[in-house]
Amino acid sequence: MQTITHPTLVQLVASGAVRVVVAVGQPGGWTLLIRYGLAERALAAQRSKQLRVFRKLDTLVLYLQAIGVSRFEIDAANFSGLAR
């Protein structure tokens, strides 16, 4: 899966390019999937090429609100509160 960085996501949100944001459940937390234009990318962690994992859904919601996203979808099919 290709990724985008936080600064890129902020720019996409500010420009109105983001169509859908999905919180995707993982073992131990949540990742973000961003759809814009014809692209679909996951949010990368700041210091690595790994996916950013939010341990709590509350933290993810606060992050999205801080960058201007107030609506998003949740895919909890693979969520587990236990880390891998």
Report the pLDDT averaged over residues 11-31: 96
Q: Which residues contact 50 (CB under 8 A, 6 or more apart)?
A: 44
pTM of the model: 0.91
Q: What is the pLDDT of residues 31-72, one digit of tens each?
A: 999 999 999 999 999 888 799 999 999 999 999 999 999 999
State yes or no: pLDDT of 83 exceeds 80: no
Q: Find how far residue 23's CA is from the centre of its chain.
A: 6
* Contact status, residue 83 vs residue 28, Cβ threshold 8 Å: yes
In this predicted structure, what is the pLDDT of residue 49? Answer: 78
Domains and CATH numbers, the chain: 3-75 (3.30.720)
In this predicted structure, what is the pLDDT of residue 81? Answer: 74
